[in-house]
Amino acid sequence: MCGPCLQCPPPFDRVRAPLAWRRPVDRLVHALKFHERLELAAPLAALWRPGPLPDALVPVPLHPARLRERGYNQAALLARAAGRRWGVPVLEPCIRTRPTPPQHRLDAAARRRNLDGAFACAPLPAGCRRLALVDDVMTTGTTLRVLARALRAQGAAYIEAWVVARV
């Protein structure tokens, strides 16, 4: 665990990040996220080597306006590909309640302010207490922290963060 995480433990239990954020990984993720290279979702999701499987995979949601603009949610594509591979259902209990500027343009403090109150999660189905939050990249972990807290408030007992790469 890194120094900041030791001082302020995250609300998730484990991170699975098979790759580091450098070339060619950054280009592959950008191709999926911004250039409609949807066929990259399955091979990128195949990089995760889960131990005990979660009860469900939960993709990081996009705000409806951003989803309309992009046409797809790359985190949902990754979650569905991983779900098919390991037979794990994809659950989407969370929504983005307001539009937010893209996180990659903000520093760590601005990221925290940006996402304050930006998500809401519905109650989890019975038997869905071990979750994996799915996203493309983890930089500061702010998005995953905020969502993990919201899922804990709905009864999640164990949460992993599954990302393709970590900065």
* pLDDT, tens only, 109-149: 787 787 888 899 999 999 999 999 999 999 989 999 999 99
User: Domain residues for 107?
Assistant: 15-166
- Residue 144 falls within a domain, yes or no? yes
What is the per-residue DSSP string for the chain? --HHHHHS--SSSEEE--EES-TTHHHHHHHHHHS--GGGHHHHHTT---SSPPSEEEEPPPPHHHHHHHSS-HHHHHHHHHHHHHT--B---EEE-S----GGGS-HHHHHHHHTT-EEEPPPPTT--EEEEEEEEESSSHHHHHHHHHHHHTT--EEEEEEEEE-
Q: Which CATH number is 21's domain given?
A: 3.40.50
Question: What are the structure tokens assigned to 39, written together?
Answer: 């066929």
pLDDT at 1 over 70: no
Predicted confidence at residue 3, as pLDDT, reads 60
Q: Is 91 part of any domain?
A: yes
89: tokens are 């259902």
Residue 45 has pLDDT above 80, yes or no: yes
Please count the structural domains in the chain. 1
**pTM confidence score:** 0.91
Identify the residue with better confidence: 24 or 50: 24
Identify whether 76 is part of a domain.
Answer: yes
Does some domain include residue 94? yes
Residue 163 CB contacts under 8 Å (≥ 6 apart), including other chains: 15, 16, 17, 134, 135, 136, 137, 138, 144
Q: What is the pLDDT of residues 55-102, one digit of tens each?
A: 999 999 999 999 999 999 999 999 999 999 999 999 999 999 988 877
Q: What is the pLDDT of residue 158?
A: 98
6 falls within a domain: no
